[in-house]
Structure 1
Amino acid sequence: MSMSCASFPSYKGISCGWSPKRKKISHNSEAVELVRLLTRTISDKEPLVKTLNKYVKQVRTEHCFLLFEQLGKDDKWLQCLEVFRWMQKQRWYIADNGIYSKLISVMGKKGQTRMAMWLFSEMRNTGCRPDTSVYNALITAQLHSRDKPKALAKALGYFQKMKGTERCKPNVVTYNILLRAFAQARNVEQVNSLFKDLDESIVSPDIYTFNGVMDAYGKNGMIREMEAVLTRMKSNQCKPDLITFNLLIDSYGKKQDFCKMEQVFKSLLHSKERPTLPTFNSMILNYGKARLKDKAEDVFKKMTDMGYTPSFVTHESLIYMYGFCGSVSRAVQLFDQLVESKVHINVSTLNAMLDVYCLNGLPQEADSLFERANRIKIYPDSSTYKLLYKAYTKANQKELLDKLLKHMDKDGIIPNKRFFLDALGAVASLSANSDSANASTDSNAANFESANSKTHSSTPNSKSSNVTAGSKNPQDFANLATHGKSYLTHL
């Protein structure tokens, strides 16, 4: 049963247990500098191996570890394998679990599950015996695969194998990975089973255990389950940290349970922790989604009164808030102030303003801003084109779609198949729901998706007023399919 506002647990009463800190890996500054030099030197023109050979007298295992991390971040997982093969040819190379664990982790994050499995097999063939860290990396890699039910089943299989192998016993990291994954999958029964297993083991949960599960439940809107984990956390004498407060504030805000959200915020102010910009950004955005403009503005005022400087995310949250509340002029005013201030404006801020126009049925205004973006030194990227393509498709703005496609062609933007499938889905959604397309949305729209399905405002731009949203004309699909076909032939 969901807790009432009055019964929300007070954090003041939680005794202060030991809160473990994440161990930070420190790298030699010279090693970091050498890796920076290597990554700058590596290019498509010069083979990676040739670059490594130039620095063969300096590069060692620690440099390769850093290279794996950087190449992984740059989405260059194939080059990680090149570095690995180069390592194996060096005299100083010794097969090591840590190397394989790092590579498996990188491959997993990039969705290369088969490659991660191949590395695991090769590791065993070289005589290395898997340990807990390797299995943790392998489980994480499996969980990145698209077939989630199969991935979860395999992860549990590895978990059981670890429990039966002396040198591979699950540690707190293992439990944290699995608990969060099953919470994300909404499998409450398995989460409870893992907690029971954890209680019976010699492993003690830490703050990351509880935060990970609560965050997953909260993002799924499973408030009752989230609160049950909060109670478990309290019984384990584990003190909430800033992440705990922030995820609770965000979860309650998304559910529009503002009574509990505000109470958690008050508890945060009375704790040893201090709010961060994400704390305020979340509250502003969630008040905005509920169209509580005054409340959102009060949060922003409190933030500035406390000495915080708004970030670009804060500005985007405010722009969206005004958009959700139908105050497009205030959103425009804020955006223009940012432009006039000469500060660097991220493309995500441009996207926020464009989205607000589209949410409020003003595609022509969105087009005008898009056209002047380069003049104000904000350069659209593929995310901008995708946003506008979907918005124009939903609004059945054929002329704007054609114009946008010409821009995409000119700027060399070649979308993938998913780009057009999403757009076709938008048209299908409109056609299937055309009878209700002109109905006003719920004034308490709980999330971005519901707000994104709003129809045109009652006073659309004159150029767009001649277009009927939600047309059932099959030609809409034919035209869009033609656009897609012409682009997909280039892929």
Structure 2
Amino acid sequence: MAKPSYFHLIRRCLSRNPPYSLPHKPARLPTCVSETIAQSFTVGIRRQFSTSDDLTDLRDRILLLTEKPTVLVNEGELDEIRLKVSSLADDLLTAGHLVDLAEGDDLTDLATFLDSRSAASLLSLSRPGLAFVELLDRLKSRPRLAVQVFLWRLKQADAGLQLVSEEYAKVITLAGRSNKFELAKDLFSDAARRGIRSTAIYNSLMSAYLYNGLSLKAIAVFDELTRDPECNPSIVTYNILLSIYGRLLLIDKLEKVFKQIHEHPNFGPSLNTYNILIAAYLTAWMWDRMENTYEVMKSGHVNPNSFTHCLMLRGYANACYIEKMEKMYDLVKDQVNKSVPSLVRAMICAYCKSSDKDRVSKIEELIKHIPEGDYRPWLNILLIRLYAQEGLIDGMEKLISEAVNRGVRVKALGVMKSIISGYFTCDAIERLIRFVMLAENAGWRLCRSLFHCKMVMFGQLNRMEEMHNVLDEMENFQFFRTKKTFLIMYKAYSKAGRMFEAETIVGMMWKNGFLDTTHALIS
């Protein structure tokens, strides 16, 4: 039976404010067992890639590990175990309320539930760790639940059911994903106390720290691994280290680690190695090195996958390399259109900044692949500016109306000037008047150029009284008259042949200090 005092301590790891630490008993560890490690790399950027979009983020979490048992078993036996584990996992997920963290640290209900499903017997059906690692993998969508099940598993270990390193590696990763990095550290220490340690467990703790943004702690774990005579860093270890330096934009250190991987006698760069390297260069906006890495990858023995192509697509989009972006898009079009709207938005941004003659039609085709309800104010404003630049007033006003209805406020002077220019180019004075009223009510930024545009357009139509009334509007919004204001009025009166009013404007310019004795009369 488990010691009550010890089990109580480890259960408290799940409390919201846990004043705990697992007991540490130094032990001489055995030689590490060999292991096969499959890993997946998940990346996102907040700042560079659309303000909380996704890939939001490369900052959206990191290298996650999936440790798999190393001892091969009969395929039929493995299928039977997976079937039983899958059934147990489904039952746990359905009855998740039994282990709700809000209920505190009492795991009695969970233990009763697992005992009723003969979970302990299931774990002993195969070699140690095989069934439980599979169970943890099935529960990864609920990492906190998985961690609690592991605490029950510790009690079984104290009762004689052997623990193996793969189980610790998996649960440490899951503890990190549930934002319990302190618990991950305590589980690492508990493995050492039991005489269980492996490279996979070090990797999982590094991953847990990196997942929670604790890069320096992750590096410290790497240093500890290099000093451990029982274990050696693996390619997974170096990939996590690459992720750390890439995330911190420490490119010199990143390239130093990559060189060590190339020179290592036991392994070389993997697919994930190149993907991490490309992602780092992408984050640092180092387009040449990003491309060079991709070319080296293709010329070697590692074939790019769809994730590699998506990284390259984002890089080309951010760099506005339109032709290269379109070629890369052709390689992953179906995947991007179906499930990666952030890349669709990145491509739209690239087209908005480009001079491509067909950019509007290409953008409208891409917009079809953005899910309804996936609204981004910044993208709406970008499209408003695009339609204004292209003189597509109907489309521009539709987007303006949508922005106003959603409570979006435009404060960018460049966007406002583009809208004004759009109305001026299309000679749409009445629409401009309505827009001014709409922008005022919606709290958008008004500017002097907006009123000057109205004056010019009224002058061209010989609507002098309305042009003069704009001066009162400017005063209401505290836009003072400038030399340009008077020049607009002078040219309008002169063009209309009303020279008395034109000369009056010249006098007002003298009076306001916009002309002096050195200036010739305005022609």
Normalising by structure 1, we get a TM-score of: 0.55
State the one-letter code of the partner of 2:235: V
Quick check: 1:101–1:137 contact (8 Å CA) kept in 2? yes
Counterpart mapping for 1:74-93 below 5 A: 74-75=142-143, 77=144, 79-90=145-156, 91=159, 93=161
Taking a change above 3 Å as real, the CA distance of residues 100 and 43 of structure 1, as seen in their structure-2 partners, is same
Taking a change above 3 Å as real, the CA distance of residues 81 and 321 of structure 1, as seen in their structure-2 partners, is closer
| Aligned match for 2:323, one of 246, 259, 264 | 259
Question: RCO greater where, 1 or 2, for CA within 8 Å and sep 6 or more?
Answer: 1
| Aligned match for 2:336, one of 278, 282, 294 | 278
Q: 1:201 is matched with which residue?
A: 264
Quick check: 1:109–1:141 contact (8 Å CA) kept in 2? yes
State the one-letter code of the partner of 1:82: Q
- Contiguous gaps of at least 5 residues in structure 1: 1-21, 269-273, 301-309, 330-355, 367-391, 396-429, 431-435, 444-456, 472-491
Q: 2:280 is matched with which residue?
A: 216
Counterpart mapping for 1:61-460 below 5 A: 64-75=132-143, 77=144, 79-90=145-156, 91=159, 93-128=161-196, 130-148=197-215, 150-151=216-217, 154-155=218-219, 157-202=220-265, 203-234=267-298, 236-265=300-329, 268=331, 275-278=333-336, 284-289=344-349, 290-291=351-352, 292-297=359-364, 313=371, 324-326=382-384, 360=400, 362=402, 364-366=404-406, 392=407, 395=409, 437-440=412-415
RMSD across aligned C-alpha pairs, in angstroms? 4.2
Using the alignment, how far apart are the partners of 1:458 and 1:226 within structure 2?
Answer: 49
Quick check: 2:377–2:403 contact (8 Å CA) kept in 1? no
Using the alignment, how far apart are the partners of 1:63 and 1:285 within structure 2?
Answer: 42
Q: Larger Rg: 1 or 2?
A: 2
Using the alignment, how far apart are the partners of 1:95 and 1:119 within structure 2?
Answer: 12
Measured against aligned partners, the alpha-carbon deviations of 1:340-379 in whole angstroms (never above 9, x if no partner) come to xxxxxxxxxxxxxxxx99984745523xxxxxxxxxxxxx
Quick check: 2:165–2:198 contact (8 Å CA) kept in 1? yes
Q: 1:35 is matched with which residue?
A: 89
Measured against aligned partners, the alpha-carbon deviations of 1:239-294 in whole angstroms (never above 9, x if no partner) come to 3233222221221012221122134456x4xxxxx643316856643342233322
Taking a change above 3 Å as real, the CA distance of residues 182 and 460 of structure 1, as seen in their structure-2 partners, is farther
State the one-letter code of the partner of 1:296: I
Using the alignment, how far apart are the partners of 1:221 and 1:207 within structure 2?
Answer: 21
Taking a change above 3 Å as real, the CA distance of residues 439 and 282 of structure 1, as seen in their structure-2 partners, is closer
Q: 1:13 is matched with which residue?
A: none
Q: Secondary structure at the match of 1:170?
A: coil
Compute the displacement of 1:30 (Å): 2.5
Using the alignment, how far apart are the partners of 1:30 and 1:312 within structure 2?
Answer: 40
Quick check: 1:211–1:244 contact (8 Å CA) kept in 2? yes
Q: Secondary structure at the match of 1:100?
A: helix
Using the alignment, how far apart are the partners of 2:167 and 2:372 within structure 1?
Answer: 40
Taking a change above 3 Å as real, the CA distance of residues 243 and 23 of structure 1, as seen in their structure-2 partners, is farther
Quick check: 1:284–1:296 contact (8 Å CA) kept in 2? no
Using the alignment, how far apart are the partners of 2:208 and 2:383 within structure 1?
Answer: 42
Quick check: 1:100–1:120 contact (8 Å CA) kept in 2? yes
Quick check: 2:168–2:191 contact (8 Å CA) kept in 1? yes
Taking a change above 3 Å as real, the CA distance of residues 261 and 64 of structure 1, as seen in their structure-2 partners, is same
Compute the displacement of 1:137 (Å): 0.5
- Contiguous gaps of at least 5 residues in structure 2: 1-65, 70-77, 100-107, 124-128, 353-358, 388-395, 419-431, 447-523
Compute the displacement of 1:42 (Å): 3.2
Quick check: 1:284–1:321 contact (8 Å CA) kept in 2? no
Compute the displacement of 1:161 (Å): 3.6
Compute the displacement of 1:111 (Å): 2.4
Aligned identity (percent) is 20
Compute the displacement of 1:323 (Å): 6.7
State the one-letter code of the partner of 1:159: F
Compute the displacement of 1:470 (Å): 6.7
Measured against aligned partners, the alpha-carbon deviations of 1:423-453 in whole angstroms (never above 9, x if no partner) come to xxxxxxx9xxxxx64432798xxxxxxxxxx
Q: Secondary structure at the match of 1:168?
A: coil
Q: 1:47 is matched with which residue?
A: 109
State the one-letter code of the partner of 1:365: N
Quick check: 1:68–1:80 contact (8 Å CA) kept in 2? yes
Measured against aligned partners, the alpha-carbon deviations of 1:140-186 in whole angstroms (never above 9, x if no partner) come to 112123344x24xx42x333443444542122211222212212221
Taking a change above 3 Å as real, the CA distance of residues 263 and 277 of structure 1, as seen in their structure-2 partners, is closer
Quick check: 1:213–1:229 contact (8 Å CA) kept in 2? yes
Quick check: 1:101–1:133 contact (8 Å CA) kept in 2? yes
Does residue 465 in structure 1 map to residue 505 in structure 2? no
Taking a change above 3 Å as real, the CA distance of residues 296 and 466 of structure 1, as seen in their structure-2 partners, is closer
Measured against aligned partners, the alpha-carbon deviations of 1:87-142 in whole angstroms (never above 9, x if no partner) come to 233345212211111111111122222111111111111122x2111111011112
Quick check: 1:242–1:275 contact (8 Å CA) kept in 2? no
| Aligned match for 2:118, one of 51, 56, 60 | 56
Using the alignment, how far apart are the partners of 1:102 and 1:147 within structure 2?
Answer: 19
Using the alignment, how far apart are the partners of 1:441 and 1:159 within structure 2?
Answer: 52
Using the alignment, how far apart are the partners of 2:268 and 2:399 within structure 1?
Answer: 48
Q: Secondary structure at the match of 1:127?
A: coil
Normalising by structure 2, we get a TM-score of: 0.52
Q: Secondary structure at the match of 1:73?
A: coil
Using the alignment, how far apart are the partners of 1:145 and 1:357 within structure 2?
Answer: 44
Using the alignment, how far apart are the partners of 2:415 and 2:439 within structure 1?
Answer: 18
Report which stretch shifted further, 169-178 or 116-125.
169-178
Using the alignment, how far apart are the partners of 2:369 and 2:241 within structure 1?
Answer: 34
State the one-letter code of the partner of 1:41: A
Quick check: 2:203–2:236 contact (8 Å CA) kept in 1? yes
Using the alignment, how far apart are the partners of 2:168 and 2:433 within structure 1?
Answer: 60
Using the alignment, how far apart are the partners of 1:33 and 1:256 within structure 2?
Answer: 50
Using the alignment, how far apart are the partners of 2:445 and 2:333 within structure 1?
Answer: 44
